[in-house]
């Protein structure tokens, strides 16, 4: 478990059409739908309630997002809801969603029809199984760990469901058997602090 000396406020990107359809997104660059746009603004207002809306207090945070469009747009709308410049934030490649490789764009029932052997192996070990040409949760954690180790101030990050599950393991001690099954909500805020996490 990584000991983080600063507060990390995490947003999962808002809803996309592929979320609604149950399609594996991974690195596919899918935009927010109308509900996702509203969720992003709601999340910004939630941050305002947590942190306060004073500009000096908010500007003390590092704002960082995955480079995928669904995360960038979520960040921009959240910052706008906080009355901050929507475009003043950093991009961080290590916050990209885990890659599902050849499975991207498929629903899980389609994966099971297309690749039943690998699908069964993933259901048996969701944490460690690497999809064809993709990444596992374990590999994603290896990608995230150096970024976490470099955090030097309170941070607001926008990324993805797989990233949130790895953070729950790395920062909150959630077991590798449980983390991949954890619900990660869109439009809500996940706060990591002092070795614990809570949804708001």
Whether 17 is covered by a domain: the verdict is yes
Indicate the pTM of the whole model. 0.96
Whether 198 is covered by a domain: the verdict is no
**DSSP state string for 114-156:** H-HHHHHHHHH-TTT---TTS--HHHHHHHHHHHHHT--S-EE
pLDDT of residue 169: 97
* Phi, psi (degrees; rounded to nearest 5) at 119: -60, -40
Whether 117 is covered by a domain: the verdict is yes
Whether 1 is covered by a domain: the verdict is no
Q: Please compute the mean of the pLDDT values over residues 52-66 and round it to a whole number.
A: 87
And the tokens for 24?
Answer: 């594996």
pLDDT of residue 95: 98
CATH code of the domain in which 98 resides: 3.40.50.1240
pLDDT digits (tens, 9 = 90+) for 123-151: 999 999 999 999 999 999 999 999 999 99
Query: Active-site residue among 13, 15, 92, 104?
Result: 13
Q: Please compute the mean of the pLDDT values over residues 27-45 and round it to a whole number.
A: 98
What is the Cα–Cα distance from 172 to 7, expressed in whole angstroms?
A: 12
Say yes or no to pLDDT of 92 above 80.
yes
Q: Please compute the mean of the pLDDT values over residues 5-31 and round it to a whole number.
A: 97
Active site residue 13: yes
Whether 158 is covered by a domain: the verdict is yes
Active site residue 133: no
In which domain, by residue range, is 167 found?
A: 8-192
> Contact at 8 Å (CB) between 24 and 108?
yes
pLDDT of residue 48: 94
Whether 55 is covered by a domain: the verdict is yes
Confidence bin at 180 (pLDDT 50/70/90): very high
pLDDT of residue 163: 98
pLDDT of residue 1: 85
> Contact at 8 Å (CB) between 8 and 192?
yes
Say yes or no to pLDDT of 56 above 80.
no
Whether 2 is covered by a domain: the verdict is no
Number of domains the chain is built from: 1
Query: Active-site residue among 15, 76, 97, 135?
Result: 97
Say yes or no to pLDDT of 21 above 90.
yes
> Contact at 8 Å (CB) between 9 and 159?
no
Whether 57 is covered by a domain: the verdict is yes
């Amino acid at each position: 478990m990584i000991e983080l000396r600063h507060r990390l406020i995490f947003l999962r990107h808002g809803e996309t059409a592929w979320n609604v359809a149950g399609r594996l997104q991974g690195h596919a660059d899918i935009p927010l739908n109308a509900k996702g746009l509203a969720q992003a603004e709601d999340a910004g207002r939630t941050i305002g309630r947590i942190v306060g809306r004073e500009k000096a207090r908010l500007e003390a945070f590092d704002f960082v997002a995955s480079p995928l469009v669904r995360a960038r747009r979520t960040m921009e709308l959240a910052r706008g809801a906080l009355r901050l410049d929507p475009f003043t934030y950093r991009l961080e490649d290590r916050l990209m969603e885990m890659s599902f490789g050849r499975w991207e764009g498929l629903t899980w029932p389609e994966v099971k029809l297309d690749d039943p052997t690998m699908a069964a192996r993933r259901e048996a070990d969701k944490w460690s199984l690497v999809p064809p040409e993709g990444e596992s949760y374990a590999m994603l954690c290896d990608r995230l760990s150096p970024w976490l180790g470099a955090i030097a101030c309170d941070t607001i990050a926008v990324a993805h469901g797989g990233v949130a599950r790895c953070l729950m393991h790395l920062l909150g001690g959630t077991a590798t058997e449980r983390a991949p099954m954890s619900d990660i909500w869109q439009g809500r805020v996940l706060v990591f602090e002092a070795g614990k996490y809570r949804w708001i």
